[in-house]
Amino acid sequence: MKFKNEDLLRYVAESKKAGEPTPELFEFFVIITEKWLIKKGYQQLTYRGDLVFETILFLNKYWNNFDSSKSQNPFAYYLQMINQCVLTKMHHIKKAKGSYPT
């Protein structure tokens, strides 16, 4: 499925009106998280499912912070949120284990 910023803006507006993410916005979160992890080379990690799960929980918690009056690019906003969530989780794993597990 291909997402356009115009569609995402509409999904975000519909979600804000409903007070929760629409199925389309939630589907975007799942698809873009999976694709981002593959693109960044995280597809071979044994804890990849945990990264996806925690990232989706994070997006589900903070999706409403996007402000369309400040930016018309929700794709970049949510992608940055995904990036930060994964990097934070990787940092916690590295700190707990002393190195990145495979």
pLDDT tens digits for range 8-56: 899 999 999 999 999 999 999 999 998 888 887 777 777 788 888 999 9
The answer to the question of residue 102 being in a domain is no
- 19 lies in some domain: yes
44-58 pLDDT tens trace:
777 788 888 999 999
Please give the mean pLDDT across all residues of the chain: 86
**Residue 100 CA: distances (Å) to CA of 14, 36, 47, 81:** 39, 19, 11, 21
Contact call for residues 55 and 86 (beta carbons, < 8 A) = yes
When divided into structural domains, the chain yields a total of 1
Q: What residues make up the domain containing 49?
A: 5-97
Q: What pLDDT was estimated at residue 40?
A: 79
Q: Is residue 27 assigned to a domain? A: yes
